[in-house]
Structure 1
Amino acid sequence: MQGSAQPSIRQLGVAAPCRSRRSLVCRAASGVKEVTLLDYGAGNVRSIRNAIKHCGWTIKDVKSAADITSADKLIFPGVGAFGAAMESLEQQGYTQALKEYIKADRPFFGICLGMQLLFDGSEENGGCEGLGLIPGQVTHFDKSKGLPVPHIGWNDLIQKHPSTLLSTVGDRRVYFVHSYHATPSPENAEWVLATAEYGGEFVAVVQRGNAYATQFHPEKSGAAGLDVLRSFLEPEVVAARPAPEATSNGRPRGLAKRVIACLDVRANDNGDLVVTKGDQYDVRETASTGEVRNLGKPVELAGRYFDEGADEVTFLNITGFRDFPLGDLPMLEVLRQASKGVFVPLTVGGGIREFTDGSGKHYSALQVAAEYFRSGADKVSIGSDAVYAAEEYLANGGKKAGGTAIEQISRVYGAQAVVVSIDPRRVYVAAPGDTEHLTVKTSKPGPNGEQYCWWQCTVMGGREGRDVDAVQLAKAVEDLGAGEILLNCIDNDGAGQGFDIELVDAVSSAVTIPVIASSGAGTPEHFSEVFQKTKAAAALAAGIFHRREVPITAVKEHLNSSGIPARTA
């Protein structure tokens, strides 16, 4: 507290810290519940921190190998590339201490890459050795099976034998986001606690003794994930509870289609961050008042959507990042505050690019993205900069420059952390030969009866068209390293007449990464239509959720009743 002396521990009513070396007896006497967190510096670790605190535990960070050795409970979250993670562990001197800790059968919990690193090795990064504790190699999902990769979303677990760790999950889905996986085999059977299905079975949870690890993210798996985390932290408490009753009621199983809530965020005329409508449209209440349309506060709305069952929440900052991305402290604080109570994935977009500030200091796109990850984002969305990168890529005959925002961020944090937002509009032509761009024969003829159209990509919030089409852009950014596409449609946005099915079908059929359909949803039936008629992995809406015209629960119930898997608990 600036301007005043800090209160003493006694004044705050907190017991003075015990002086003995990490004594269990001491902590029990003081009522402190502490877990050690191994953060080697990759990805969004704020989310697992918030989840641990939500469960009533405090955190001790690993600063040296001795902290691993002295830990009573150790959590190891991992995000990013296998090789970079192993290199970081080696450089910091953690590898041997970590292996000895797990071999000694002490309480350990690995998450995502923190599970994969336990295996012998991975084919990622050209082949890397792992910790060698679990037999088997980590391999890339087979794209030839026709499923989008990365595997992103809420999937069912197939439990192989009873365990306290999963005793409270029941039949609820959990959240996965990964391109690489381990395969169950006779050699690692004693470790495999649960698998999941995605083009074949893969290892979803491992356990041997007191060592546990999950391929899914408990900190992003809603109430089910928090229950898994509590089961590790306090197994004796969880074991005393009755097993949950089944809630599926015959629902479709497998990877759920995601329903995403989107918040367009900007500063209003008073300088407050509010949720409004995209800046290529009318964001003002009326022409006479000139005030920014205010649909709510972003943190409160994000919390509401989490409670209502949104599978992900996306923040699109439509003005604040453009001139000085790292100077937009209010939006960073929105992420920090939202991640305290929203335990599903958070995506942030708007100005994720390199820039030079007023003093001449240069910041790379990677540095900008890193700040958002540290503030609570799980993914960053890149818009206009992705179009420019794709144009350069296409002009160079498909040769990668290596320094684009997509490539930089994907290389360090993994493809699953990079979303490319495409903002196209329809361009009608009388015949395919009238343009060099990919056309489709449309069921919605143009103003002069044109039977064909293509979709022109735009930049600057839809204000400037470019000579690249949506399918070209999608294929280019996939090759550059993007892990997901957020596909908007300027023509349909706000109309409430449904998604542009022809656009979504064209793009989702052209790439092997997940596509999120956006723009135009007005009823639950619009969601089922886009999932039934295209390969979209998710669908996003904004206004209908903000204004409570269509509840998220109604969308989920409709999808399940239509035979389309959707997470409902």
Structure 2
Amino acid sequence: MISLLDYGAGNVRSLRNAIHALGFSLTEIARPEDILQAERLIFPGVGAFGAAMERLHRLGYVEPLKEYLATGRPFLGICIGLQALFEGSEESPGVAGLGLIPGRIRRFDASDLSVPHMGWNDARVERASPLFADYAGEKLYFVHSYRAEPSPENADWRLATTDYGSPFLSAVQRGRVAAVQFHPEKSGAAGLRLLQHFLAADAGGAPVAGWSPRPADAPTHFAKRVIACLDVRANDAGDLVVTKGDQYDVRESGEVRNLGKPVELAQRYYEEGADEITFLNITAFRDFPLADQPMLEVLRRTSERVFVPLTIGGGIRAFTDASGTSYSALDVADEYFRSGADKISIGSDAVATVERYLERGCGDGTSAIEEIARVYGNQAVVISIDPRRVYVRSPDETRHQTVETATPGPDGERYCWFQCTIKGGREGRDVDAVELARVCEALGAGEILLNSIDRDGSGAGFDLELIGAVRAAVSIPVIASSGAGCVEHFAEVFAATGVEAALAAGIFHRREVPIQAVKSYLREQGIETRV
């Protein structure tokens, strides 16, 4: 009996789908007593340490979970499922963990790292375990701001470590109790194999024949991400299609440009090596998203076939429906997470939030960014910024942060600032991209998706001046978007700005630039990628 402890935090659908894809069935933990009846227990989780422990206590799961662990029966914790095994976390002072492993969870040092640690890294397996029986150093998907540090006190639990600044525990195991910091259900084939070993084998059994540890001084390497983006909207016949516009105009000869079906295209990109898939619901501002069943169904079906992270954007904000019932942005995000999303992208609503923040000088805890981050963690919130250039003759002409540009304006202006827009680029606001990114980070966002209206669909390359300005202003990961036209553009943006990821749409949809061609070229240039 394989039992899943779903306490209501984050995207557990993808883990269910991965287990079913491997040919196994699951039972769900519905009551505290179900925990003690499990034969193999999986405890996944994302989000804040304190919120996770609070839910476990509220559901009455803490004591039976401790009792199950004490028996030494097969257990696999994932992400928060690893961190909860420790005594506590800096993320939630005063909140006790399960206390099985000595030590406290500590935050990454953001002084010289982007935090969260979000993306693909490998693991240094330091002792034999059937979980890693055929692991060959492949990249695994991590997304976390806090980590477990190896120490003499927890040495008997230490199974694998990963380097991000300094080494942290990426896998722990003692007997049949194991946990991993990465997400195997989001780690492609390598992650599915690890799940297969836990589900089918004796995870605490005899050492693997012929196994030898990776040298202790062999570093692991963090990879740059290549992301495929799918703009999804209904066409004139009412069918959801992937489309792409130039400067956000998605019509061609009067019809919505149709570049394929979203689920099939997402699966193709997964098979071609995309590190993440992003869906942008570009008509969501017109609709009530909880009634947007076709888009939710796209997420559900995609998560059955695609085992890398999925992001959804478009319409993530508070709503009141036709009957007068109000729904918070958190209610909307909950439904998207349950349908298969790993991250939520917030666009126009983030601009309105920052405008209110600048008026008050602080947040009030009620914005979509703050609410979602508080429950699901910073890593679940992506801010999608759609800026356009505004040229000025001198920095003194505007209060906004300017750059001296290598591409002067129409009247020879040598400076510009980057104005944020809303409603798909149709309306400009008095907020610039740099201050929006800074404020959103302060409110709890974990990643920036940085578009460019000026470069969108141009094939002229990423706007390095825009990207460099925003990247220098924040300590959270930044995804460069808009303008890619060839493999050289990807290497250029990584080398020039240090961003963690680069995204493209049209050139992938039209097969002008294959994803594997991008990755091969990056490796030729000495840039680490997931193979």
For the superposition of Structure 1 and Structure 2, which TM-score range results when normalised by the shorter chain? Answer: over 0.9
Runs of 4+ that moved beyond 3 A: 236-245
Match among 238, 241, 255 for residue 274 of structure 1: 241
Q: What pairs with 1:414-493 in structure 2 (closer than 5 Å)? A: 414-493=377-456
- Residues 462 and 480, structure 2, Cα contact 8 Å, conserved in 1: yes
Corresponding residue for residue 123 of structure 1: 90
Deviation at 1:458, TM superposition (A): 0.3
Kindly tell me: are residues 497 and 372 of structure 1, through their superposed partners in 2, closer, same or farther at Cα, counting changes over 3 Å? Answer: same
TM-score normalized by structure 2?
0.96
Corresponding residue for residue 168 of structure 2: 202
Hey, what's the Cα distance between the residues in 2 that align with 1:157 and 1:319? Answer: 41
- Residues 133 and 208, structure 2, Cα contact 8 Å, conserved in 1: no
Q: What pairs with 1:126-145 in structure 2 (closer than 5 Å)? A: 126-144=93-111
Hey, what's the Cα distance between the residues in 1 that align with 2:91 and 2:220? Answer: 30
Secondary structure of 2:92's aligned partner = helix
Hey, what's the Cα distance between the residues in 2 that align with 1:252 and 1:425? Answer: 41
Match among 246, 263, 284 for residue 299 of structure 1: 263
Q: Deviations over 1:185-225 (max 9, x none)?
A: 00001101001111100110000000110000000000000
Match among 384, 387, 394 for residue 358 of structure 2: 394
Q: Deviations over 1:61-111 (max 9, x none)?
A: 011122111111000001111111111111211111111111211000000
Secondary structure of 1:124's aligned partner = coil
How well do the aligned residues superpose, as a CA RMSD in angstroms? 1.9
Corresponding residue for residue 520 of structure 2: 557
Corresponding residue for residue 49 of structure 1: 16
Corresponding residue for residue 215 of structure 2: none
Structure 1 letter corresponding to 2:373: S
Corresponding residue for residue 227 of structure 2: 260
Secondary structure of 1:548's aligned partner = coil
Corresponding residue for residue 369 of structure 1: 333
Secondary structure of 1:195's aligned partner = strand
Corresponding residue for residue 227 of structure 1: 193
Secondary structure of 2:286's aligned partner = coil
Corresponding residue for residue 471 of structure 2: 508
Secondary structure of 1:505's aligned partner = helix
- Residues 252 and 563, structure 1, Cα contact 8 Å, conserved in 2: no
Q: Deviations over 1:397-449 (max 9, x none)?
A: 2x112101101101010010000000000111111111111011111111111
Hey, what's the Cα distance between the residues in 2 that align with 1:337 and 1:528? Answer: 33
- Residues 101 and 157, structure 2, Cα contact 8 Å, conserved in 1: yes
- Residues 124 and 220, structure 2, Cα contact 8 Å, conserved in 1: no
Provide the aligned length of Structure 1 versus Structure 2: 526
Give yes or no for the alignment of 1:91 onto 2:58.
Answer: yes
Match among 152, 169, 188 for residue 186 of structure 1: 152
Deviation at 1:125, TM superposition (A): 2.5
Give yes or no for the alignment of 1:80 onto 2:47.
Answer: yes
Corresponding residue for residue 25 of structure 1: none
Kindly tell me: are residues 66 and 542 of structure 1, through their superposed partners in 2, closer, same or farther at Cα, counting changes over 3 Å? Answer: same
Deviation at 1:285, TM superposition (A): 2.3
Secondary structure of 1:129's aligned partner = coil
Deviation at 1:450, TM superposition (A): 1.1
Corresponding residue for residue 36 of structure 2: 69
Give yes or no for the alignment of 1:359 onto 2:336.
Answer: no
Hey, what's the Cα distance between the residues in 2 that align with 1:277 and 1:241? Answer: 49
- Residues 325 and 351, structure 1, Cα contact 8 Å, conserved in 2: yes
Gapped regions of structure 1 (runs ≥ 5): 1-33, 246-250
Secondary structure of 2:265's aligned partner = helix
Kindly tell me: are residues 115 and 253 of structure 1, through their superposed partners in 2, closer, same or farther at Cα, counting changes over 3 Å? Answer: closer
Q: What pairs with 1:523-538 in structure 2 (closer than 5 Å)? A: 523-538=486-501
Structure 2 letter corresponding to 1:344: V
Give yes or no for the alignment of 1:317 onto 2:281.
Answer: yes
Secondary structure of 2:341's aligned partner = coil
Deviation at 1:278, TM superposition (A): 4.7
Deviation at 1:239, TM superposition (A): 8.7
- Residues 365 and 371, structure 2, Cα contact 8 Å, conserved in 1: yes
Deviation at 1:500, TM superposition (A): 0.3
Q: Deviations over 1:339-387 (max 9, x none)?
A: 0010000000000000111111101000001000000000010000000
Hey, what's the Cα distance between the residues in 2 that align with 1:338 and 1:129? Answer: 37
- Residues 279 and 318, structure 1, Cα contact 8 Å, conserved in 2: no
Corresponding residue for residue 369 of structure 2: 406
Give yes or no for the alignment of 1:171 onto 2:134.
Answer: no
Deviation at 1:320, TM superposition (A): 3.6
Structure 2 letter corresponding to 1:369: A
- Residues 350 and 383, structure 2, Cα contact 8 Å, conserved in 1: yes
Deviation at 1:323, TM superposition (A): 2.5
- Residues 419 and 482, structure 1, Cα contact 8 Å, conserved in 2: yes
Structure 1 letter corresponding to 2:259: L
- Residues 315 and 346, structure 1, Cα contact 8 Å, conserved in 2: yes
Hey, what's the Cα distance between the residues in 2 that align with 1:94 and 1:447? Answer: 64
Structure 1 letter corresponding to 2:387: P
Corresponding residue for residue 12 of structure 1: none
Q: Deviations over 1:110-146 (max 9, x none)?
A: 00000000001111133421000000100111112x1
Structure 2 letter corresponding to 1:380: I
Deviation at 1:252, TM superposition (A): 9.9
Hey, what's the Cα distance between the residues in 1 that align with 2:352 and 2:206? Answer: 55
Structure 1 letter corresponding to 2:225: R
Kindly tell me: are residues 70 and 221 of structure 1, through their superposed partners in 2, closer, same or farther at Cα, counting changes over 3 Å? Answer: same
Asked which structure has the greater CA Rg, the reply is 1
Deviation at 1:319, TM superposition (A): 0.6
Corresponding residue for residue 348 of structure 2: 384
Structure 1 letter corresponding to 2:514: P
Corresponding residue for residue 215 of structure 1: 181
Hey, what's the Cα distance between the residues in 1 that align with 2:220 and 2:148? Answer: 21
TM-score normalized by structure 1?
0.90
More displaced 10-residue stretch of structure 1: 170-179 or 229-238: 229-238
Q: Deviations over 1:431-484 (max 9, x none)?
A: 111111101111111111111111000001000000011001000100011000
Deviation at 1:253, TM superposition (A): 5.2
- Residues 245 and 457, structure 2, Cα contact 8 Å, conserved in 1: no
Hey, what's the Cα distance between the residues in 2 that align with 1:252 and 1:125? Answer: 30
Hey, what's the Cα distance between the residues in 1 that align with 2:285 and 2:336? Answer: 12
Corresponding residue for residue 306 of structure 2: 342
Hey, what's the Cα distance between the residues in 2 that align with 1:154 and 1:535? Answer: 16
Structure 2 letter corresponding to 1:371: E
Secondary structure of 2:333's aligned partner = helix
Kindly tell me: are residues 393 and 446 of structure 1, through their superposed partners in 2, closer, same or farther at Cα, counting changes over 3 Å? Answer: same
